[in-house]
Amino acid sequence: MPDLDQQLEFGIFPTPAAARIPELLALVQTAEVEGLDLVSVQDHPYQDAFLDTWTLLSVLGARTTTIRLAPNVASLPLRPPVVLAKAAASLDLLTDGRVELGLGAGAFWDGVVAAGGPRRSPGEAVDALAEAVELIRACWAGGTVRFRGQHYEAHGLHAGPVPAHDIPIWLGAYKPRMLRLTGRVADAWVPSMGYADPPDLAALAAVVDEAALEAGRSPASVQRIYNVNGRFGTGSGFLRGTPADWAEQLAELTLTVGMSRYVLAADDLDLVRRFAAEVAPATRELVERERARRARATPPGAGPQHDDPARPANQPAPATATTDADPPGPGGADHAEGSGRHTVEPTPDDGRRLSPSMPWDEPSRPAAPGGASGAHPEQAQHLKDIHDGLRGELAQVRDVLDQVRRGHTTVGAARSVVNTMTMRQNNWTLGAYCESYCRIVTGHHTLEDRSVFPHLRRAEPDLGPVLDRLEEEHVVIHDVLEQFDRALVRLVTEDGTGRAGQGVLDGVQTSLDLLTDTLLSHLAYEERELVGPLSRHGLS
């Protein structure tokens, strides 16, 4: 099966070593701040050197805010399905819906038996796994559960709690029966390098796809997760070269086999940082570029507002659009008299700036040609709604940093180890939150640059200078976001005490002030110039 057009995601698979707890926690926190999507942990209860998987996932959930958590994969023979369902649902509630559940039929049977578990034949292991998936999902639905299988039973169980979201179930599978079970019932298939190397994936995926189709499911409903390992260098082989080499190899797997989530086995901070900062974005770029090329080749049918300075006298008055949508409330659209519609007003600007200088000359911005409102006022409202969301998120980022700064004063004065560790946790939380926000902004700008702007350029050629300027500002904002991210990374690696800590916090504040000024200025300018054209020509 070729590219399934699934969203690309990236995660890590650290060793749950009991002897390296501080390093393990720092690694996971770094992964979150660097923008990775997932941390997953192997589950071998009979391994004396490893922490318990669910205890560790619970601690990781308490120390993070955005990254998703999963066993990769849970040892079902030692995890009774009813107890496993409750553990996963509980952690999902405690982490606001960040849990996924990887299940394995069993391995290392001597260890399983030594720990009091059953020794199952391959056929028994698959049958038990199929029963477990059914029973776990019944438990997550809540209510009274009655289940009788050959391996598991529940007799009038009062199931609960219900998880915060529909927890995806992954199955680790390599043999035909397990692959077919995956295609029939799983939300994700998770093979690992060493057990299924890249040349083997297409044939294995074909079995999953065929089983999905036979079960009346789309193959795309089964996400493809690949546990990988590698090192950066100049050698040949899969994931043995430069970050650019890694990106090309992972993109090829996505486009030719349909793999969409790559989970890196790593215990090295630098490797994780480079995987997040260099490999992940480069892979996404390659995949997006090829998907866009294929789309073009496919025939048709197959918050606080500080924004921009006052408009110079030689520029036209702001454009407006009308829409049938309900008014968004204070500061939003006003009803047009007698029409049942309302006017979409661009966000006003009071001209205030937090930074001593801006990275662009605001009065030199070109203006859009005037014109009457058109048949798509709801599209202009949609743009404003998106921008309002970004402004609201920015206000939350500023509030979080303000809380950290107030906490920093207490830490610096007390010189307390306990408070220092609490402060460090606050810093990680801030970093993760802001990193997530940075990715949202970048994604919004990418959508405009690759879809909306080309459409408007074709529909209204005189709009070209404005669109050129908006695209240039997207590049500048990207650079500002990068500066902000680097300041955050430095913040989370510092102790947060004394002069150095205060200086780092001041650097984050300066970066955030510049991000605030540039983003709000840009959003106001974009609304001012595009409300009219969007109402005339729509988004696409």
CA distance 479 to 491: 18
Which run of H or E residues covers position 4?
Answer: none
φ, ψ of residue 257 to 5 degrees: the values are -120, -25
Contact 147, 153 (CB under 8 A): yes
DSSP for 232-298, written as a single string: -SS--STT-S-HHHHHHHHHHHHHHT---EEEE----HHHHHHIIIIIHHHHHHHHHHHHHHHHHHS
Structure tokens at 280: 């992940």
Query: For 113-143, b where at least 16 C-beta lie within 10 A, e where not — what string?
Result: eeeebeebeeebbbbbbbbbbebbebbbeee
Full-model pTM: 0.63
Q: Indicate if the alpha-carbon torsion angle 194, 199, 201, 207 is positive or negative.
A: negative
CA distance 91 to 37: 17
Closest CA to 286 of 254, 259, 241, 239: 254
Kindly give the parts of the chain with pLDDT less than 70.
Answer: 1, 298-343, 371-373, 403-404, 406-433, 435-437, 439, 489-501, 539-540
* Bridge partners, 227 (sequence order): 192, 263
Torsion of CA 289, 293, 294, 297, to 10 degrees: 170
Tell me which DSSP letter residue 325 carries. S
Query: For 6-20, b where at least 16 C-beta lie within 10 A, e where not — what string?
Result: bebbbbbbbbbeeeb
- Beta strands, E only, 254-409: 261-264, 321-323, 334-335, 342-344
Domains of the chain in start order, with CATH, are 9-297 (3.20.20.30), 321-537 (1.20.120)
CA distance 473 to 308: 13
pLDDT digits (tens, 9 = 90+) for 204-257: 999 999 999 999 999 999 999 999 999 999 878 999 999 999 999 999 999 999
- Predicted pLDDT of residue 315: 42
Structure tokens at 179: 């692959």
